[in-house]
A and B are shown apart, each in its own frame.
Chain A
């Protein structure tokens, strides 16, 4: 062992608690899941139409919801970067959906979406429209889940982007304005490129998080109608805990974890995020 390496040996006891915690809490259960998946029927995977449907739903829902959240979050961040009356109040309002436990917030939405007495349907009827049975048809169930997801996650994105926007020095914009750049030009040439690092990291976390969609599906649609809104996490959970397919459920959940890591690497490549990361590390 080299001298330099020996001098750094003090670090390992300091790292031990965190590493032990991760071993006991993450590695051990992962290994146990792998053990359960050992004699799962691999051949079932390609023919599992329900699996591939849930993949398609999860990916398309993640892409649409993250796109909507990003657009809205960006608009909010740019609006909040200006001096507004009652500044602190708006931030507090934005933190509210984040502070509500996801399941609790979603049950409140279940009340709003209630067919007979929910405020949304009462509002539709007051406008002379028909009440909608939100979770009886795939498109409306999709829309309702999307609304809840946007409600839940846009605030965090907006706050992250706002923090990024506040890092950009105001004189940059003043110089651009002097050169005759309009607001759209300034947005394209200054805001967007300088926000890129924050935007990419936020997107990475949001996409991965959206691919893990579970709580709102469990509360609102139970994957229905039929299996229209069955997300991957929900499908895996149902396989193992509702239908008793222990081995196959474990296999799917592990492959899903691996796929998610690949998706994360892919998203980070997409944003040339690796170089930023290496710098940080």
Chain B
């Protein structure tokens, strides 16, 4: 992401904020409306859908992803922020009687026909035309059968029972195992990792990629892309027992508590033996350049 357009975007929004707030300084009501409008611009952009007309979040997201079009704020986040901005405006306005009066009086004046907010000549069309029509449109919209695809609230690391005492026996080999192998621990782990790389290349890399970054040739065919193991929020934040069970069970084997399921990961139990999975885990963490999480010991 280049810095110059980013700074321009932020500065542009700051200038816009300053100008709008200055224009709205004459009353509390206008200031409140200006803040709401600026909030919407912040979230939606000025001309949603147009590359240059899109300020702040959609625009910065566009720049950061290298996309050609602004990236809209997802619906869930959008409404969360809109509710927050509206709540904030109402709280500040009602924090003192004086500002509350300044906010409400023009609205009452509008209803009573005392003027102030808008000229009397557009009062009638506004009160009896625009507002009822707007309400009707909203009601109509609410009653339309939903056409938007549903939101999916996924679990990042689905609940899945596993053996807490699990330690990869190939990462921490016992004396017996080393005796059988007949070499030092380092060579043993290296040899196992090497075998793991082969297994990984054969079974995992089509989706998770040769660099364990989730960009294998099959990745684009999946609706939810495969995990990028180099991201510190994935396997690095999980203990190895979890990763082991997740490979064994895949997406299909997740228990009900792990719903909603949203994982194309196949179930490897039956196709790969325990020790094969252990080798793959060695290779996977090694490729991604991360280490499994070790639970902290607190005294």
Specify whether A and B are partners: no
